A and B are shown apart, each in its own frame.
Chain A
Amino acid sequence: MTGYLFVLPWMIGFLLFMAYPIYFSMNMSFHKVIISSEGIQKTWLGWNNFKYAFLSDPLYLEELVTFIKSVVFMIPIVIVFSMMVALLINQPIRMKGFFRAVFFLPVVITSGQVVKELFKQGAASVPIVQRYGIVEYIQTNFDPSWSEPIISIIEQLIVILWYSGVQILIFLAGLQKVNTQIYEAASIDGASPWEIFWKITLPSIKPFILVNIIYTIVDLFTNSLNDVIELIKVNMFQIDTGFGYATSLAWIYFAVIFVLLLIVVAIFGRNDDYNPRQAGR
């Protein structure tokens, strides 16, 4: 029972600053809400806000789909990149601490306005990319509905990589927990580093891949720089649509995140494989 004593603050906080606002915003999403100096005026609309978002809103669906597409591209980039860096740092090298510090550095500044500023000044794209006409190549060879997200990814490549800081550390932590005896045994048996990576390292850090994918998705979706959130914000202060419509957009957005996470957990969360970490113990 003393457990409750410790978690009590969270419970109060959750009820006040989460549960109540959630209820309130769900309620708002079914209304047309006008907030004036006299108070809040609500008119019941039923599902009309949602219908409008899907059927009539000229921008929302389009922005949402574009964003989801770019996220689908960004996740593998972030995961592969962070795994690669983690594997490199995990090697017996000098200045390990220095490299870790370098790759974690962006976490300190990635949020918010500063990144936006860097975007604008063009500091976020890799300088080599423009020189070789990669962008033009993609533009001519892909369908515009796919080339657009790909190009936007190339243009912001560094910033995308900047979202890998925490993931790198999570992978590193995972790699360090792998029993070193398995590596020794495998190399005595004549396994090449390549085989060791696929047969031992990768399966052992599989749970961390799942965690990282989830973290990446949440990080990308709740980042205030993305276009969908921008659009929700714009709608909030528009008189003809207003808060009610903005909250229903936010709820649709949340549903998308939730479904995406469920899919990821369904694909990567199965625990059927042989797990070398347990086998080594």
Chain B
Amino acid sequence: MKLEATAFRKAVRSVDRGLLIRIGYKIKKILLGKQGNDGIVFKLAVYGLLISVGFVYVYPIFFMISQSFKSLGDLLDPTVSWIPKALHMDNFYKAWKVLDFPKSFGASLFNSILPAIAQTGSCALVGYGIARFRFPGKSVMLAFILLTFIIPVQVVMIPLFLLFKQYGMLGSPLPFIVPALFAGGMKSALFILIYTQFFRTIPKSLEESAQLDGAGALKIFIRIILPISTPAIVVVFLFSLVWHWNETYTVSLYLGDSMRTLPVMLQQFELSFTQLFSSSSAGAQKVNINESIKLAGTVLIILPLLLLYLFAQKWFVEVIDKTGITGE
């Protein structure tokens, strides 16, 4: 009887130990993983890093938004850091007026959508030509395309300015639209490369069967290639739109005073502010500019871009994933 009991206890203990070891092993496996990159510790580290780095990354945007809602009191009060005591919409109202928002928004839209459409179309054509055809001088052409990518705008800006002046295009969006129609203009080399890489991923058999049916190259391009290239088209369009939207340097040079886009207005924010509020309103309700008002203006300018990004980010990311922009 007693012997049986000890044997039983022993058995239990040995099972126990085996179990413990196994549990311990399992915990280790859960924590550290089988291959070193699938355990909890590793996962936590990955998420921790991503979240903290991500926070630092968007910090300026948070800062800007939080700041833009602050009244002057909140701005000076050191106890108010992130959340303003009250949402001070007045900043936005003032910034809206200083920026002359509806008018400059129209100018911005006009100056970015039209060139973007032109660039999207022309670069697709050129990208297809490079991706699918062999012709003498192609490598030279590629070299020149890369050259246009690395040449600073400042080199050609003045001659272009004079050229546009000669043709009376200054003061209108034409200096941006016309080069864009010819697959030139802002960062077009990059767009041509994106298209080229994308078209290369399309299997050739599609075109070959159409060729057998007697379709011409242009027809094949328009009827077959373009409809299945939506991601590339969308991305080039969006990039082009965003970059044209943000451009101030050449915009203020070519457009002069006749049209002012939002970023150009931001450049002159302080000046316009004083003209609008400080001097005119007869001293009684004199308002001084502060950071919050300026940042409210900045928020107003990037808000359309942020909204656009919210809807379109899927596309942005997907195409670069697919084409990798780069060649190998």
Contacts and interface: CB of A to CB of B under 8 A. Distances in A.
Interface of A: 1-7, 9-14, 16-18, 20-22, 24-25, 28, 35, 40, 85, 88-89, 91-93, 97, 99-109, 111-114, 117-118, 121, 123-124, 126-127, 158-159, 161-162, 166, 169-170, 172-174, 176-177, 187, 192-193, 207-208, 211, 218, 221-222, 224, 229, 232-233, 236, 243, 246-247, 250-251, 253-254, 257-258, 261
Contacts of A159: 60
Contacts of A114: 246, 263, 266, 298, 301-302
A154 B76 CA distance: 26
Contacts of A126: 56, 59
A176 B46 CA distance: 18
B36 A17 contact: no
A98 to B, nearest CB: 9
**Chain A interface helix/strand/loop/mixed:** helix
**Chain B interface helix/strand/loop/mixed:** helix
A232 B149 CA distance: 19
Given A89-B50, A170-B326, 17 more contacts: A6-B217, A9-B122, A10-B145, A14-B184, A17-B185, A21-B155, A22-B151, A22-B155, A97-B314, A104-B316, A104-B317, A121-B294, A161-B57, A172-B321, A173-B326, A218-B150, A250-B152
Given A9-B181, A123-B59, A25 B155 contact: yes
Contact of B182 (A13, A20, A254): A13
A99 B54 contact: yes
A118 B266 CA distance: 12
B67 A105 contact: no
B249 A28 contact: no
A112 B182 contact: no
Contacts of B135: 1, 3-4, 7
Given A108-B242, A158-B56, A21 B156 contact: yes
Contacts, number: 265
Contacts of B150: 218, 221-222, 254, 257-258, 261
B179 interface: yes
Nearest to B187: A222
A105 B46 contact: no
B26 interface: no
B245 to A, nearest CB: 9
B125 A9 contact: yes
Contacts of B154: 229, 232-233, 246-247, 250, 253
Contact of A112 (B59, B179, B263, B306): B263
Contacts of B309: 101, 105, 108
B133 to A, nearest CB: 3
B224 interface: no
Interface string B18-48: 0000000000000000011110000100110
